[in-house]
């Protein structure tokens, strides 16, 4: 047994935080929460009563390898940005670029308390290997466009090789977006996902243009599209963005197997708009949070997403009660984990995996933080720089400024070399 001693524990199922010891069994699960100082076992970290323990943050929609494209095509509309800047470069990336970008992203994520992410891209076996090596948890899908049987086969091969690996990887099918893949291919993907018991990760109604042309393009409205293609019946459906989700259709996605991933900063930066998150919550939709790729954010910082989400909807609705700090942390932890298919991840309770982050509360910004206000301090006052340790399955991936499982210097130097190649393309 390993013990994280004397920390102030909060997760989305608690009202007040409590001081306690977290006991982790040899398999990386949480076996028990005891009173502070009461647990016996090897002390892994002593929080000394000045450390917050939260569940690890879950980045529920990203493209990690786009860290290598950061800064390309700044401040363009989504379609111009994709078609003129991103797609031409992506056509020429090789497996080693993808791995370098994934490694780079993992440094940033674990240093900011992210323990799990959902990724859609290509050469995804590289991302899978990077996650396995780093120790992160991930839900992975191969982005599928057009009618490519080759890409679907790659996605299915990815599932054969990595789905369920070490209990940390889940593979989903990744139809890219309604405007990049024909409807009959989406129907085929939904059917295949059901046969193989796989989830689906899909970009969904990100821009107003996509919504406005939906009927003309697909012959039905968006809700009918979800129903008729079979997408609503797959194991897990992850709908990224949903900025232009018609509020009167939200009831249809208030289901245990469907999650909408809100990407507040990417939506603001690309000028896509304000997702109807208040209405999603009112309708009982499972909402998670994501950063999207580093080329449209440009950080992979879930603290930023929690804070931006909690602020922007209050401003938009002229109502300070909309999207509370507690809801923001819930979205960034258990809602994301369960939405991606990790059912025992996202809370600090016996029986859950030990995916935990420790936050230093000894600094000036946490004066006044106590059992009653942990999520509010984290969301409104805290920042990713306060993360002291990041733990997945009971293993320390990051501690006191150091990546334990990654060689930061080597990764930054390798990524810089590949980025220079990209700038030449
Ligand atoms: Zn995306």
* Strand pairing report for 51-55 and 387-392: unpaired
Encode burial over 62-80: b for 16+ CB neighbours within 10 A, e otherwise. bbbbbbbbbebbeebebee
pLDDT reading at 412 higher than 90: yes
Domain range summary for the chain, segments of one domain joined by + = 2-55+347-401, 57-340
Ligand 1 centre to CA of 292 (Å) is 5
Query: Given this model, what pLDDT does residue 78 score?
Result: 80
The secondary structure of residue 291, as a DSSP letter, is -
Query: For residue 169, how far is its CA from the centre of ligand 1 (angstroms)?
Result: 19
Which pLDDT tens digit goes with each residue over 99-121?
A: 999 999 999 999 999 999 999 99
In terms of DSSP H, where are the helices of 201-261? 208-212, 214-218, 222-229
> Is a pLDDT exceeding 90 seen at residue 76?
no
What is the CA(53)–ligand 1 centre distance, in A?
29
CA distance 302 to 112: 7
- CB atoms under 10 Å from CB of 107, counted, come to 20
Inform me whether the pLDDT recorded for 73 exceeds 90.
Answer: no
CATH number of 57-340: 3.20.20.140
> Got the DSSP string for 247-280?
GGGGGGG-STTEEEEE-HHHHHHTT-----HHHH
Contacts of 171 (CB under 8 A, 6+ apart): 128, 139, 140, 141, 155, 158, 159, 162, 163, 198
Binned at pLDDT 50, 70 and 90, residue 95 comes out as very high
- Write down the pLDDT at residue 77: 82
Query: How many angstroms does the Cα of residue 289 sit away from the middle of ligand 1?
Result: 12
**386 CA from centroid of ligand 1 (Å):** 27
Distance 125 CA to ligand 1 centre (A): 18
Question: Tell me: the pLDDT tens digits for 287-315?
Answer: 999 999 999 999 999 999 999 999 999 99
Residue 82: what pLDDT?
A: 86
Residue 152 CA neighbour count, 13 Å, CB half: 19
pLDDT at 189 over 90: yes
Spacing, Cα 208 to ligand 1 middle (Å)? 16
- Ligand 1 center to 143 CA (angstroms): 10
Residue 383 φ/ψ region, left for φ over 0, alpha for ψ in the -120 to 50 degree band, beta for the rest:
beta
Cα 338 to middle of ligand 1, angstroms: 19
Per-residue model confidence as pLDDT tens digits over 124-144: 999 999 999 999 999 999 999
Reported as a pLDDT band with limits 50, 70 and 90, residue 64 is very high
The answer for 318, left when phi > 0, alpha when psi is -120 to 50, beta otherwise, is: left
Q: What fold, for 2-55+347-401?
A: Urease, subunit C; domain 1 (2.30.40)
| pTM of the predicted protein model | 0.98
Cα atoms in the 13 Å half-sphere on the side-chain side of 282: 9
How far, in Å, from the CA of 65 to the mean position of ligand 1? 12
SS3 387: strand
Confidence band for 79, pLDDT divided at 50, 70 and 90: confident
CA of 15 to the centre of ligand 1 (A): 33
Q: How confident is the model at residue 49 (pLDDT cuts 50, 70, 90)?
A: very high
According to the model, what pLDDT value does residue 425 have? Answer: 74
- State in Å: Cα 293 to ligand 1 middle: 6
User: How far apart are the CA of 203 and the centre of ligand 1, in A?
Assistant: 6
Q: Supply the DSSP string of 51-116, one letter for each residue.
A: EEEEEPEEEEEE-GGGGGGTTTTTT--HHHIIIIIIHHHHTT--HHHHHHHHHHHHHHHHHTTEEE
């Amino acid at each position: 047994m390993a013990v994280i001693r004397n920390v102030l524990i909060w997760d989305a199922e608690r009202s007040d935080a409590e001081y306690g010891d977290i006991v982790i069994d040899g398999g990386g699960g949480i076996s028990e929460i005891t009173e502070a100082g009461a647990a016996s076992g090897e002390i892994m970290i002593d929080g000394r009563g000045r450390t917050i323990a939260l569940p690890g943050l879950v980045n529920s929609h990203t493209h990690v390898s786009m860290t290598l494209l950061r800064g390309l095509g700044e401040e363009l509309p989504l379609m111009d940005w994709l078609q003129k800047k991103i797609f031409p470069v992506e056509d020429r990336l090789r497996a080693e670029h993808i791995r370098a970008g994934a490694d780079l992203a993992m440094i940033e994520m674990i240093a900011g308390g992210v323990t799990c992410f959902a990724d859609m891209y290509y050469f995804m076996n590289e991302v899978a290997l990077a996650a396995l090596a780093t120790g992160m948890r991930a839900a992975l899908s191969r982005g599928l466009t057009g009618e490519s049987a080759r890409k679907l086969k790659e996605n299915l091969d990815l599932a054969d090789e990595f789905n369920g690996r070490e209990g940390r990887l889940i593979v989903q099918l990744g139809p890219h977006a309604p405007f990049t893949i024909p409807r009959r291919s989406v129907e085929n993907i939904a059917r295949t996902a059901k046969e193989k018991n796989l989830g689906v990760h899909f970009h969904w109604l990100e821009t107003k243009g996509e919504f406005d042309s939906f009927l003309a393009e697909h012959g039905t409205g968006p809700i009918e599209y979800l129903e008729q293609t079979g997408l609503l019946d797959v194991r897990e459906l992850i709908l990224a963005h949903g900025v232009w989700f018609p509020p009167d259709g939200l009831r249809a996605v208030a289901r245990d197997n469907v999650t909408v991933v809100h990407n507040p900063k990417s939506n603001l930066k690309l000028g896509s708009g304000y997702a109807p998150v208040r209405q999603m919550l009112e309708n009982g939709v499972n909402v998670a949070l994501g950063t999207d790729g580093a080329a449209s954010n440009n950080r992979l910082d879930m603290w930023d997403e929690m804070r931006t989400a909690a602020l922007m909807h209050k401003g938009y609705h002229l109502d300070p009660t909309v999207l509370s700090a507690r809801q923001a942390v819930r979205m960034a932890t258990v809602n994301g984990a369960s939405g991606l298919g990790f059912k025992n991840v996202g809370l600090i309770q016996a029986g859950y995996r030990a995916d935990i982050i420790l936050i230093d509360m000894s600094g000036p910004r946490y004066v006044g933080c106590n059992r009653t206000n942990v999520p509010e301090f984290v969301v409104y006052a805290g920042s990713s720089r306060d993360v002291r340790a990041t733990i997945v399955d009971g293993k320390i991936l990051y501690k006191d400024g150091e990546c334990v499982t990654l060689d930061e210097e080597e990764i930054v130097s390798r990524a810089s070399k590949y980025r220079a190649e990209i700038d030449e393309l």
